[in-house]
């Protein structure tokens, strides 16, 4: 099975706090850095779960971009897409002592991907997974629609992760829904706030509602999360999406449990 993802490859800085932040003060923490970005995470987990994985992302021609690309390829992911001058994006994820996380995102050159920079052959795959962050910028949304068309013409299916309720609200739900509809996704992944923001009834034939520690709802049926310790929730939804695409919801829940049991977004 070939899983292709479209989105960002960024430097992921994951900070796990030992106690809550206090404004104007210091807090002890454990920090980890590595490749990240929603699309990159899904590709890495898909490779870990036995699929042939491919990431399409626009990358910066800087030292960080080269290091991140090499690390993702070391994890078994084929990295494709244009390389341009500019800077690599950075996402800082701050996890509180209970495992919940808050992110600050700087997408760098990745958000400037355009349809004319894509090769349709990159999307000869069984499943194309699109990060919703890509729909927040008009040119990148057009690139995602072109990629989805190329995948579907080759017999593949398309999935979309809604990614961020706050950015959807800022952009406007009608604009986001229109860009999502242009993908004609068979599967949509989203958390409660994202799906509620959009009113999820007509987004896709299959909607996977991610419930965090409560598991997930697929086609009206609730699936419980796997029991286990929670260290860091960052990337758990991406792991679930990869597992779902490769082997269905049970594999998705297994992957999510593996992800939250450690620090960081990738396997």
In a domain, 60, yes or no: yes
Q: Is the pLDDT of residue 232 over 80?
A: no
Q: Give per-residue pLDDT as tens, 104-113.
A: 888 888 899 9
> Which two structure tokens, joined as six digits, stand for 138?
């008009």
Q: What is the pLDDT of residues 73-82, one digit of tens each?
A: 999 999 999 9
Q: Distance (Å, rounded) from C-alpha 27 to C-alpha 144?
A: 40
The Cα–Cα gap between 239 and 72 comes to 15
In b/e form, how buried is each residue of 143-165, taking b as 16+ CB within 10 angstroms? Answer: bbbbbbbbbbeeebbbbbbbbbb
Q: Does 93 fall in a domain?
A: no
- Decide if 173 is inside a domain: yes
Least confident of 92-101, 111-120, 175-184, 242-251: 92-101
Q: What is the pLDDT of residue 69?
A: 93
Domain containing 187: what range?
A: 2-7+37-85+110-260
Q: Residue 90 falls within a domain, yes or no?
A: no
pLDDT given for residue 14 in this prediction: 81
pLDDT at 211: 93
Does residue 263 or residue 160 have the better pLDDT? 160
Q: In this structure, are residues 91 and 68 in contact, taking their beta carbons and an 8 Å threshold?
A: no
Residue 104 lies in a domain: no
Determine the pLDDT at residue 23: 80
Rounded mean pLDDT of 204-212?
93
What is the pLDDT, as a whole number, of residue 201? 61
Q: Find the CATH number of the domain harbouring 152.
A: 3.40.1190.20
Each residue of 147-204: pLDDT tens digit? 999 999 999 999 999 988 999 999 999 999 999 999 999 999 999 999 989 875 678 9
d(CA 45, CA 93): 19
Q: Is the pLDDT of residue 103 over 80?
A: no
pLDDT at 238 over 90: yes
Lowest mean pLDDT among 132-146, 173-187, 206-220, 228-242: 228-242
Residues 35-62: tens digit of each pLDDT: 889 999 999 999 999 999 999 999 999 9
pLDDT at position 178 is: 94
Provide the domain count of the chain. 1
The answer as to whether 41 is a domain residue is yes
pLDDT for 233 equals 79
Task: State the chain's mean pLDDT as an integer.
Answer: 91
Tell me, what's the pLDDT at 64? 92
Domain membership of residue 265 (yes or no) is: no
pLDDT in tens, 4-35: 999 999 998 888 888 887 788 788 888 888 88
Note whether residue 133 is domain-resident: yes
């Amino acid at each position: 099975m070939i899983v292709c993802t479209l989105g960002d490859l960024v430097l992921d800085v994951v900070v796990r706090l030992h106690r809550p932040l206090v404004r104007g003060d210091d807090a002890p923490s454990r920090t980890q850095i590595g490749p990240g970005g929603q699309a990159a995470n899904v590709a890495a987990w898909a490779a870990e779960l036995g699929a042939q994985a491919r990431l399409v992302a626009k990358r910066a021609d800087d030292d960080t971009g080269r290091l991140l690309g090499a690390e993702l390829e070391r994890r078994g992911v084929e990295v494709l897409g244009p390389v341009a001058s500019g800077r690599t994006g950075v996402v800082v994820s701050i996890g509180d002592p209970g495992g919940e996380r808050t992110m600050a995102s700087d997408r760098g050159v990745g958000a400037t991907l355009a349809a004319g920079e894509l090769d349709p052959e990159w999307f000869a795959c069984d499943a194309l997974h699109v990060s919703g962050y890509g729909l927040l910028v008009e040119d990148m949304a057009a690139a995602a629609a072109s990629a989805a068309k190329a995948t579907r013409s080759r017999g593949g299916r398309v999935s979309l992760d809604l990614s961020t309720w706050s950015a959807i609200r800022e952009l406007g739900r009608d604009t986001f829904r229109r860009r999502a509809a242009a993908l004609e996704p068979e599967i949509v992944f989203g958390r409660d706030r994202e799906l509620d923001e959009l009113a999820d009834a007509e987004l896709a034939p299959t909607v996977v509602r991610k419930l965090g520690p409560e598991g997930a709802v697929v086609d009206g049926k609730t699936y419980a999360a796997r029991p286990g310790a929670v260290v860091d929730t960052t990337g758990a939804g991406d792991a679930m999406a990869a597992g779902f695409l490769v082997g269905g919801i049970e594999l998705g829940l297994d992957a999510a449990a593996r992800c939250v049991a450690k620090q960081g977004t990738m396997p």
